């Protein structure tokens, strides 16, 4: 009986994180139910600062755009929209080597969605095998998120941009 209860508990937990079994591996489709009362209270306190923090993210993104364009593919933004840059995602075929270089310089980076959705177990279970989607598969191998949180100083933003540029020099 304990084993069955453990499996149910695990399954319920996974339902709240998009059916994720391990980081970036989704076994089935779920929902995003990670906001508990404590986090909601914290976000309520932070809400009045949202516009200022989003403005700072846009400043950082503009700096990255200016410095990194020509070295990597920078995010494409619709000029009719105002991006908030929850993530600043660049693309380069040399993603893994660049990420190692940044790490050696003490700069964190992230790889979000390293497995394209059509290769996730959730897709395969719900829809079945997909044909090759080379653009999605190439993107999954090239995307890299750079630090963009609004508490970065101008010096830190410059350090990230310098490190990326130095890699390609």
Number of independent structural domains in the chain = 2
Q: Is 128 left (phi over 0), alpha (psi -120 to 50) or beta?
A: left
- Residues 139-157: pLDDT tens digits? 999 999 999 999 999 999 9
58 and 11 in a common domain: no
132 and 91 in a common domain: yes
73 and 13 in a common domain: no
92 and 129 in a common domain: yes
pTM: 0.80
Domain range holding 55? 49-168
Within a domain: 65: yes
68 and 135 in a common domain: yes
pLDDT at 64: 98
pLDDT at 27: 66
Question: What gap in Å lies between CA 25 and CA 100, rounded to an integer?
Answer: 23
- Residues 30-42: pLDDT tens digits? 667 677 899 889 9
pLDDT at 33: 67
62 and 5 in a common domain: no
Burial of 117 (0-12, 13-18, 19+ CB in 10 A): middle
Angle at 134 between CA 115 and CA 127, to 5 degrees: 60
78 and 127 in a common domain: yes
Domain of 63, CATH number, reads 3.90.1150.10
Within a domain: 115: yes
Q: Is 63 helix (H, G, I), strand (E, B) or coil?
A: helix
Within a domain: 101: yes
Within a domain: 163: yes
| Positions of the chain with pLDDT lower than 50, given as ranges | 1
SS (H, E, C) 14-28: HHCECCEEECCEECC
Within a domain: 39: no
The b/e string for 141-155 (b: 16+ C-beta within 10 A; e otherwise) is ebbbbbbbebebeee
57 and 30 in a common domain: no
Q: Is 75 helix (H, G, I), strand (E, B) or coil?
A: coil
């Amino acid at each position: 009986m304990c084993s069955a209860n453990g499996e149910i508990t695990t399954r319920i937990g996974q339902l709240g994180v998009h059916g994720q079994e391990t980081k970036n591996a989704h076994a089935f489709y779920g929902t995003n139910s990670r906001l508990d009362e404590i986090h909601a209270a914290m976000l309520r306190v932070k809400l009045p600062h949202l516009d200022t923090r989003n403005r700072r993210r846009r400043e950082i993104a503009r700096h990255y755009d200016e410095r990194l364009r020509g070295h990597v593919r920078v995010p494409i933004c619709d000029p009719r929209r105002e991006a908030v840059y929850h993530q600043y995602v660049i693309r380069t075929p040399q993603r893994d080597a660049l990420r190692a270089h940044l790490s050696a310089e003490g700069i964190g980076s992230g790889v979000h969605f390293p497995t394209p959705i059509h290769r996730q177990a959730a897709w395969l279970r719900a829809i079945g095998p997909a044909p090759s989607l080379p653009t999605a598969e190439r993107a999954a191998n090239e995307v890299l998120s750079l630090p963009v949180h609004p508490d970065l100083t101008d010096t830190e933003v410059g350090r990230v941009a310098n490190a990326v540029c130095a890699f390609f020099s």
